[in-house]
Amino acid sequence: MRSDTDSPLFKNRPLPETDLKSLSRLDLESFFKDLGLPAFRVKQFLHWTYERHAVSIEEITEFSRGTREMLSKKAYISNLRLLNRQTSADGTEKFLYGLQDGESIESVLIPDEDRLTLCISSQVGCAMGCAFCLTGALGLRRNLMPHEIADQVISACRLTAPASPTNIVLMGMGEPLANYDNVCEALRRITGFIGISPKRITLSTSGIVPKIMSLPNDAPMVNLAVSLNATTDEVRSRIMPVNRSCQLNALLQACRKFPLPSRRRITFEYVLLKGVNDTPDDAKRLARLLKGIPSKVNLIPFNPYEGSTFRRPEDKRVADFQDVLLSLSQTALIRKSKGADILAACGQLKAKYKKPN
């Protein structure tokens, strides 16, 4: 298996100035043209980088030896560095990746019958401060660049070959819509260069209303998931600070206006917190709030972690909550948490930072 350490990025030698993977297609075309390379070389480069997962220019054997040598003097291909790989008892895998600046992020690969879902990060840390989420305790270190987001897919494909992810969810570290431009570009790369259908990609947001409204115009038509987690503004503002600026009414109005393709629904994620948002009255209010929105509810019993003040409701209380929703004609599923034993379950990601001084 090829290793990311085959890249010049990890060979302790000075790097050329230009990271080809960081360039947009237009910038690539301009860069190659300035070097006297024909336009079709860009298409070849994208194929080798995004579909054949090349980790270095030397690996692109469709280029002549002279072309590779010339290009390697001017540029390089960056890659995420695998720092750690953990496997859960249920088959879930968590990847800890190092970035060029010494920061790190986590991705999670979740096997489930006929699909292999990759959960990717969009930021280093997160600024949203959701009280029940371990990632939020880190604060925001920085946004990920488009190639760093897409590279999580490339790296997973390389690490799990010959299998590869069938579905992508932006539910890892960070709030995707708070890194809007970079996420939109990353989605264009994942769909256009890697070739994953938008129907198989889901973007999860805590509810940044203006960006929800503009997303269909700026990115491929991926699926939308909204992390709701409460049925009153008082409770939601307490556990999700974003609600103080984007309250429930505005958020749900944006969801009603979201231009869903035929047969698609918005997913509403609802983390059940014992004694906070798990009563039958909460379930009834939730059904009323979502009335008229093509939707399904993913009920997520809280995944505990050390230091949290929240608790997981009993299984019967979770089932009762679901029953209320179903009785009111609201589709509701109980999501089975996976990877909790390696801190890979929903809300548990917390990459170990190793940024050099």
Give the domain CATH number at 108.
3.20.20.70
- Domain assignment present for residue 355? The answer is no
Q: Are residues 33 and 103 in the same domain?
A: no
Secondary structure element (H or E) that encloses residue 42, with its range = helix 40-46
Q: Are residues 229 and 332 in the same domain?
A: yes
Q: How far apart are the first and last CA of the chain?
A: 33
- Domain assignment present for residue 349? The answer is no
Q: Are residues 149 and 23 in the same domain?
A: no
Q: Are residues 19 and 149 in the same domain?
A: no
The radius of gyration of the chain from alpha carbons, rounded to an integer in Å, stands at 21
Last residue of a domain, one of 43, 76, 109: 76
Catalytic residues: 106, 346
Residue 28 phi, psi dihedral angles, 5° rounding: -60, -45
Q: Are residues 213 and 174 in the same domain?
A: yes
- Domain assignment present for residue 90? The answer is yes
- Domain assignment present for residue 299? The answer is yes
What domain range includes position 207? 81-342
Structure confidence at residue 1 (pLDDT): 43
Q: Are residues 181 and 258 in the same domain?
A: yes
Q: How many domains does the chain have?
A: 2
Q: Are residues 132 and 65 in the same domain?
A: no
- Domain assignment present for residue 351? The answer is no
**Cβ–Cβ under 8 Å, residues 172 and 106:** yes
Per-residue pLDDT of the chain (357 residues; tens, 9 = 90+): 455 555 545 455 678 889 999 999 999 999 999 999 999 999 999 999 999 999 999 999 999 999 999 999 999 999 999 999 999 999 999 999 999 999 999 999 999 888 999 999 999 999 999 999 988 888 999 999 999 999 999 999 999 999 999 999 999 999 999 999 999 999 999 999 999 999 999 999 999 999 999 999 999 999 999 999 999 999 999 999 999 999 999 999 999 999 999 999 999 999 999 999 999 999 999 999 999 999 999 999 998 888 889 999 999 999 999 999 999 999 999 998 777 776 766 776 787 655 554
CA 170/CA 149 separation, integer angstroms: 9
pTM of the model: 0.93
pLDDT tens digit sequence for 210-268: 999 999 999 999 999 999 999 999 999 999 999 999 999 999 999 999 999 999 999 99
Give the domain CATH number at 65.
1.10.150.530
Last residue of a domain, one of 76, 106, 133: 76
Last residue of a domain, one of 76, 109, 128: 76
Q: Are residues 199 and 264 in the same domain?
A: yes
- Domain assignment present for residue 171? The answer is yes
User: Any idea how long the chain is?
Assistant: 357
- DSSP-derived letter for residue 242 is G
Structure confidence at residue 353 (pLDDT): 54
- Domain assignment present for residue 356? The answer is no
Q: Are residues 27 and 42 in the same domain?
A: yes
Q: Are residues 311 and 295 in the same domain?
A: yes
Secondary structure element (H or E) that encloses residue 124, with its range = strand 123-126
- Domain assignment present for residue 357? The answer is no
Q: Are residues 240 and 310 in the same domain?
A: yes
CA 191/CA 69 separation, integer angstroms: 30
Q: Are residues 71 and 86 in the same domain?
A: no
